[in-house]
Amino acid sequence: MITDWGGVLTSPLNDAVAAWLAADRIDAARYKTVMRGWVSQAYDGDGVNPIHGLEDGTLAREEFERLLAAELLTVDGGPVVADGLIARMFAEFAPVEPMYEALRLARAAGTRTALLSNSWGNDYPRDLFAELFDAVVISAEVGLRKPDEAIFRHALGLLGLAPADCVFIDDIEHNITAAEAIGIRGIHHTDPAATIDALRGLGALG
């Protein structure tokens, strides 16, 4: 059982971003335009863009914050503070306890578990990792990022399992498609109850 973190084990990213935009009084339409372009390039385009670099560790968090802040404006047309931007962006992330409980049930049932996360330089609940995961793969720490095949292969290697023996949970369809391309069963996460039902159907929770 391999799972993403943000948007699966946490509350939705869009909710956290909306809270940050409101708190920092950032022009939401401008933010969405900038990020739409960057995300599209990161998943569909050629070369490296800021999101790609942040996720695979080739771009420092502070530089990403500077680049993003330079593209944004407040609702009054003023500058956006770069320092600490990522921490503010993810400040409203909250744990989704049913998904954490699913991980605990999986491990109790003998299912091996792994975290596979594209990091944006945000903080993880690392004090819980030993309890929840047999393996942890954070993109910037291994120099790889989803949806690259290599990062899935790396996670499989740490687990010591074949693709067909694993299920991968993510809230981004691109990443699910990439996992399925190498034989991992995918669960596109949209709702904790639906994901947990799918895991039960697979026997992952005992």
Q: What is the mean pLDDT of residues 156-160?
A: 98
Residue 49 has pLDDT above 90, yes or no: no
The CATH number of domain 2-11+94-202 is 1.20.1440.130: no
Distance set, CA 23 to CA 68, 89, 147 (Å):
17, 10, 32
For the record, the structure tokens of 76 come out as 């009054």
Burial class (CB in 10 A: 0-12, 13-18, 19+), 13: middle
Between CA 206 and CA 204 the distance in angstroms is 6
Give the range with max mean pLDDT: 35-39, 50-54, 72-76: 72-76
Average pLDDT over residues 106-123: 95
pTM: 0.93
| Residue closest to 116 by CA, chosen among 49, 176, 73 | 176
More confident residue, 10 or 43: 10
Q: Residue 194: is its pLDDT beyond 70?
A: yes
165-192 confidence digits (pLDDT tens)? 999 999 999 999 999 999 999 999 999 9
Q: What is the pLDDT of residue 41?
A: 77
CB 170 within 8 Å of CB 176: yes
Residues 14, 39: contact at Cβ < 8 Å? no
